Amino acid sequence: MSAAMSPGGPSAGGPDSVPAPPPASQAQVENLQKQALRRLFSALYWSGRRTPKNQPLKTRTLRTRKYGPLVFFALLGLILLPFAFPPMPPRVSFVMVHVLTLVMTGMSAATACGTLLFNDQESDILLHRPVPARFILLAKVRVLFGETARMAVALNIAGMAAIALTRGPGAWRYVPAHLFSVTLQALFCVSAVVLAFQLCARLFGQARVKSLITASQVVAAVVLVAGGQLAPRLMHSVDLVHWSTSPWIIALPPAWFGGLDLLVMTLEPTPQALAGTALALGVTALTSWLAFSRLAGVYEETVVTLNEHTASPATSYNGKGRWTERLPRLPLLKQWLRDPLERTGFMLAMAQLGRARDVKLRVYPQIAQWVVYAIMFSFSTRRAESSDFSSAAVIGFLGTIPFMTVELMRYSEEYRGAELFRFAPLASAAPLFFGVRKAVLLLITLPVFLLCTVLMAVISQNTTGLAMLLPGLVLAYIMSAVPALTSPFLPFSETQVESKGVKMGCVMSALGLAVSMGVSAISWAAWEYDWFTVWLGSMLAVAVIAEFFFRRIIRNRGIVSDE
């Protein structure tokens, strides 16, 4: 034992010298607690900052993470400009601005809320400290509200400036009005999301909240990505002026906050503006009271129950076992997955895609955009003039989806678990990779392929175009092997914060997309110039040869070391 570690320990006093509590009033203590919690949750909100082992802390990373999204939101706000300028009527402009703000900030709040409100490890860190759960909830809400409001303001800077400069005298009043309404809307978003979680806890039981949070985060992220693709197209096909003057518009939250803007800027107390303002103020006050005061007790119960949930014995399953165990035992799959290591990789991928929150949040939103594109182009095949082109485009997206998904299966928060494969006597990680690849093909690619086929056959009634999807299927199979060709692949063994991995991922994504789209273009040309059968046959032959060589390359690779 070193001299420093003397048994006297820190501030050793004499016998029976148990020190008195610190000389601070209860109010001072509570203030200290509130400040500490706010600082803590603000840091956790931006918790993406990490340092590699034995490397000094890089605070620049934190600044980038903190201000990067604001710049992103400010740039994203440029898409509001078409609604800001005349001749778009103010009532339409104001509602549309709040539609986009609500979607973006609402989804952002929903994603952050789940992570920040119910943290797995928090019970062991905070629940035994002398802090009321209400303080913890309010500190979290304050951070969530602050960050959501900042994002909302950043999103609206361009639109706000455009409206204030182009709408004539009195338009300057739009700036303070809109800053207030956007901030109020951020409060509405956060309180509504917190209230929704509390109601879920009350209705479905606190122990199920965890799975509900993950599901809601995944859905929110997917809706955000898919909505971003679909919204601009929908806007073109809707008569916004007619839509914004409908009486039922007042049922939608953006109309309330838009009404507030309208009232302050025009100073005209129209029924729409008055009703909107009253609802914006009233509903926000109501949801805030319910979420932060009336149902605050539910939060405390939920946090304690989540702690009990982790402490209680695991739920027993019926004799049939979990679905992850039953699926590979189905006759066809049993044959397809006869290699036990492949089956291991398959089951691991299946479990991660179904259960691991970080994997779900990474994979599903990323592939959502390609799925949306595939579906949109499948719909487009109903138009005769673009039918063949649309079918060919679907091929490209079918090739991109498994490639992107397999590439993302390298990463996991549970990356330390992959050490198992490093010390196990495996000559190569190839069987594990092939299992992961098969899981992606079966669970992700095949459903998308079937969906596109059904859409083209039933909705678009384009049965001849279905043949065009065959190269897509071949491409999907081959492209799903590419991630293991570019660099050694050990499933779920890397953290995504490794910049090398991220940069490589971006380059690979671009290359994968380029190849897929190239095949898609050739398929279209082959269809147009009547050499499609030759092309499909050639593609199949190339695919068989490529698969043979790909397998050899992948099998000859050792297991990537843990560095």
Q: Which residues bind other proteins (CB under 8 A)?
A: 1-2, 4-19, 21-22, 24, 28-29, 32-33, 35-37, 39-40, 43-44, 46-57, 121-132, 304, 307-308, 311-313
For residues 40 and 223, which CB has a smaller minimum distance to other proteins in the complex? Answer: 40
For residues 56 and 87, which CB has a smaller minimum distance to other proteins in the complex? Answer: 56
For residues 44 and 103, which CB has a smaller minimum distance to other proteins in the complex? Answer: 44
Q: Phi and psi (nearest 5°) for 494?
A: -125, 150
CB of 68 to other proteins, least distance (A): 16
| Helices 446-454/387-408 angle, 10° precision | 160
**Burial class, 453, CB count within 10 angstroms (exposed 0-12 / middle 13-18 / buried 19+):** middle
For residues 23 and 168, which CB has a smaller minimum distance to other proteins in the complex? Answer: 23
For residues 118 and 477, which CB has a smaller minimum distance to other proteins in the complex? Answer: 118
For residues 50 and 552, which CB has a smaller minimum distance to other proteins in the complex? Answer: 50
Asked whether the beta carbons of 50 and 495 are under 8 A apart, the reply is: yes
Asked whether the beta carbons of 86 and 166 are under 8 A apart, the reply is: yes
For residues 128 and 236, which CB has a smaller minimum distance to other proteins in the complex? Answer: 128
Q: How far apart are CA 95 and CA 236, in angstroms?
A: 16
Residue 9's CB is within 10 A of a number of other CB atoms, namely 7
CB of 356 to other proteins, least distance (A): 18
CB of 112 to other proteins, least distance (A): 14
CB of 122 to other proteins, least distance (A): 8
| Helix (H) / strand (E) containing 367 | helix 357-380
For residues 22 and 247, which CB has a smaller minimum distance to other proteins in the complex? Answer: 22
Output the DSSP codes for 118-147.
S-TTHHHHHTTSS--HHHHHHHHHHHHHHH
Name, in order, each residue with C-beta under 8 angstroms of 436's C-beta and a sequence gap of 6 or more: 345, 346, 348, 349, 406, 409, 491
| Helix (H) / strand (E) containing 165 | helix 133-166
Residue 271's CB is within 10 A of a number of other CB atoms, namely 10
CB of 206 to other proteins, least distance (A): 12
**CA 421 vs CA 52, 494, 496: distances in Å:** 22, 13, 19
Q: Which amino acid is at 25?
A: S
CA 236 to chain centre: 26
CB of 490 to other proteins, least distance (A): 21
CB of 7 to other proteins, least distance (A): 3
CB of 306 to other proteins, least distance (A): 11
For residues 48 and 297, which CB has a smaller minimum distance to other proteins in the complex? Answer: 48
| Helices 470-479/532-555 angle, 10° precision | 10
CB of 501 to other proteins, least distance (A): 17
